[in-house]
Amino acid sequence: MVVRRLSDLLKSLSSTTTASASAAVAADAGDSLASGRIVHAKSITLGLHADPILCRALVGFYLSFDLAHLAIRLLDSAPSDDVSPWNAFLSACSKRHLHAQALRLLRKLLLLSPRLKPDAFTYPSALKACAGLGAALDGEFLHAGAIKHGFSADVVVSSSLVYMYAKCHRFASAIQMFDEMPQRDAACWNTIMSCYYQSGQPSKALEVFDQMTHCGFQPDSVTYTTAFSACARLADLDRGKRVYEVLITSGFELDDFISSSIVDMYAKCGNLATAREVFEQIQSKSVVSWNSIITGYSSAGDSCRVLDLFARMIAQGIRPTSSTISCLVMACSKSSNFGQGRFIHGYIVRNCITVDVYVASSLVDLYFKCGMTQCAEYIFANMPKSDVVSWNVMLSGYVMTGSYFKAIELFHGMSFFETVPDAIAFTSVLSACAQLAALDQGREIHKQIRENSLESNETVMCALLDMYAKCGAIGEARAVFDKLASKDVLSWTSMIMAYGSHGQATEALKLFHEMQNVKVKPDHVTFLSLLSACNHGGLVIEGCYYFNQMMNEYGIKPRVEHYSCLIDLLGRSGQIDEALSILKNTPDIRADAGLLGSLLSACSLHKNLKVGEEIASLLVKLDPDDHSASITLANMYASAGRWDEMRQVRTRVKKRGLKKNPGCSWIESENTIHQFFVKDDLHQHTNLIYEWLGYLSLHMVGNSEMPMALHRS
């Protein structure tokens, strides 16, 4: 009776202390501590300090004052072989997230074996500490101990083991433990669903959800949230609706997390109307709810609705998070709306919002999409350089805007900041090398790919293949292709395109047949590569065959590019009338300047002035400011001896003030790319270059009196 009364008194003092502390009444806290110490002293004089019940109460009392050292001293001095006070200490540490302290205490407890042995109440708290610290090895040691002492079949211990392995990202171990459990509780079902979801297996997560409901377990908030998130990741609207039906039928009360996950599911499945309807029904909207609906509209690129929702969010006193800001910027980026994007940027600056790497990267992407390269460069210059994400967005931005030289220069700058490139960085810079035909640079980057163990990454290897192909290194491109562990339609198409664009049409067609033999289904780009190969090789019959095969066997509707390739193929072979017939019978392609330009070039090549005049007239109507069609037509008049018409065309060009864009060329020398424009005098070695150009000019006209400098070279 005395033990019970003293224990109750200590518990009341602990609860009073908590209330006093929350009210900031320090005097009451001091009185409670003093009273508790009197109780402790009284228990010693009565010889009751070793009683397990009183010992647990004293441990809880001292922990409520954050006096862990006194609680440990109490446990050390207690002669009792009852482990429950230790369990109380472990439980308190776990609840307060003092995970390291809990593990230290556990090691102390294990040293007292065999006098004290862990029981079924010891393991859950200890395993929670392992989960909090990500201490998988300690967790495995506890797992072995639970098996040894016969507690592994206990549902709470088993569930704690599943939770521990999941938190330590040992998903396979967690799933195995779950499968071996003779009994299961709702917590372990939720944990295993989360395991599958986090490991990229949302379908398996939904299978577990079905098993859970079939076994008679009632899903809770965590269950439904994970299920809806899995449906969202799969973009499976029908499955999401079925989960929603289970939710409504069960009468489960919606909370903010479930509602937000439903909004997210509908939005990611493309049903924004229903997502908005569910969102508006949420009585108390948290920042999670607002972020879900804003993310949905942001993914659709609807910057106007995103800004309207943002204005409502601010009006209701909800402070935006970095995720909110990132979604706002992303929406403006997708719609290339510079004005709205600048407004969001201004809001960030005015409200002194801390900009993390993802928000800054979104701003960089926005300015690139809006063609404001200098603004993007300014933001990048002022953001942290340690995260590869910031470098990736700059690299992709430079490639997207055609600033290939800057992209390569930036890539090399990563090493100065000790930032290791990832697959995205390599893919972007290889694309820049491909566009510049910078083979030596590409080979150096290939070495770095090997050093970073990325030769197994399909995306990187396809980019590498494309780079070698566009640089004319067909042998190296084929070597990369042959090393690919898994060849998808993209890799096959890249290799076919490589052969075709470098005059090896026969090899391209042979590779296409290999592709068909291994049952890889070609897409519209594959057939475009084939048609291009036939075009370069002058294979008219084969080109027409594959054009018809694309439509009849694979059901692929020809696009403008396919028609352009076919018309160019027919035009080059002199079949101008057939090409013109296709053009007239396909209304969708008549307004394509590239296609018409190809046909005009064919007319010029085969001196078909009649059709040439017709095509040139269409091109001038499409783009009056483009002088190329007029110049080609003037040259055709000159070839036909129709000098008056030629002069008229050239006079019209001069009157409109049309000028040709200056030509640009570049050369790669000693791992440096040098670029030149017409009448360029900006290069540091301009005088020397023009001097040697003079020597070469003399040599080309057959002047035998060569300068000595040329002979010395």
Q: Are 105 and 89 in contact (CB under 8 A)?
A: yes
d(CA 576, CA 602): 7
Query: Is 655 found in the same domain as 566?
Result: yes
Write out 694-706 in H/E/C secondary structure: HHHHHHHCCCCCC
Q: What is the pLDDT of residue 680?
A: 67
Do 62 and 114 share a domain, yes or no? no
Beta strands in 563-612 (DSSP E): none
Burial category of 695 from C-beta neighbours within 10 Å (exposed 0-12, middle 13-18, buried 19 and up): middle
Q: pLDDT digits over 433-492, tens only?
A: 999 989 999 999 999 999 999 988 888 998 999 999 889 899 999 999 998 888 889 889
Query: Is residue 595 domain-resident?
Result: yes
Domain boundary among 662, 687, 705: 662
66 & 90 share domain: no
247, 259 Cβ separation under 8 angstroms: no
3-state secondary structure of 673: strand
Q: 649-659 burial, b for 16+ CB within 10 Å, e for fewer? A: bbeebeeeeee
Residue 154: CB atoms within 10 Å: 20
Task: Specify the pLDDT at position 713.
Answer: 39
Q: What is the pLDDT of residue 25?
A: 46
DSSP three-state, residue 216: coil
Q: Which token pair is 458?
A: 């399909």
CB of 189 within 8 A of CB of 212?
A: yes
- pLDDT at residue 604, as a whole number: 85
Residues 168 and 85 occupy one common structural domain: yes
What is the per-residue pLDDT for 660? 57
Q: What pLDDT does 444 receive? A: 94
**44 and 125 housed in the same domain:** no
For residue 290, which of 310, 270, 275 has the smallest C-alpha distance?
A: 310
Same domain, 574 and 619: yes
What is the C-alpha radius of gyration for the chain, rounded to an integer number of angstroms?
37
91/162 same-domain check: yes
CATH number at residue 651: 1.25.40.10
Q: Is residue 331 part of a domain?
A: no
Asked whether 505 and 536 are in contact (CB, 8 A), the reply is: yes
C-alpha span between 651 and 389 (Å, rounded)? 53
**Quick one: three-class SS letters along 457-510?**
CHHHHHHHHHHHHHCCCHHHHHHHHHHCCCCCHHHHHHHHHHHHHCCCHHHHHH
Domain-located, residue 431: no
Distance CA 506, CA 503 (A): 9
Domain assignment present for residue 658? The answer is: yes
User: Which residues in the chain show pLDDT less than 50?
Assistant: 18-26, 704, 706-713
Exposure class string for 67-90: b at 16+ Cβ within 10 A, else e: ebebbbebbeebeeebbbbbbbbb
- Cα(458)–Cα(620) distance, rounded to whole angstroms? 44
Q: Of 616, 620, 660, 613, give the one whose Cα is nearest residue 640.
A: 613
Predicted pLDDT of residue 429: 96
Contacts of residue 322, Cβ cutoff 8 Å, sequence gap at least 6: 353, 354, 355, 356, 358, 359
Region for 680 from its dihedrals, namely left if φ exceeds 0, alpha if ψ lies in -120 to 50, beta otherwise: beta
Q: What pLDDT is recorded for position 708?
A: 43
Same-domain status, 59 and 99: no
Alpha carbon distance 163, 91 (integer Å): 16
CA distance 211 to 189: 9
SS3 of residue 668 by DSSP: strand
State which residues form the domain around 125.
81-177
Tens of pLDDT, residues 88-111: 878 888 888 888 888 888 888 887
Amino acid making up residue 326: S
Enter the pTM of the model.
Answer: 0.66
Same domain, 127 and 90: yes
Q: What is the pLDDT of residue 372?
A: 92
- The last residue of one of the domains, among 620, 639, 662, is 662
Among residues 132, 160, 177, the one where a domain terminates is 177
